[in-house]
Amino acid sequence: MSEPTFEQARDELAEIVAKLEAGGLTLEESLALWNRGEEVARVCTEWLEKAQAVLDAAAEDSEDADAVADTDADAETGAGDSTQE
User: What does the pLDDT read at residue 64?
Assistant: 78
User: What does the pLDDT read at residue 2?
Assistant: 84
User: What does the pLDDT read at residue 80?
Assistant: 54
**Averages of pLDDT over each 10 residues, the chain, 85 residues:** 91 98 97 98 97 93 76 67 52
φ, ψ of residue 58 to 5 degrees: the values are -65, -40
pTM listed for this prediction: 0.68
Sorted by where each begins, the domain ranges of the chain are 6-75
User: What does the pLDDT read at residue 63?
Assistant: 78
Cα angle 15, 16, 19; round to 5 = 85
- What secondary structure does DSSP assign to 12-61, as a single string? HHHHHHHHHHH----HHHHHHHHHHHHHHHHHHHHHHHHHHHHHHHHHHH
User: What does the pLDDT read at residue 69?
Assistant: 72
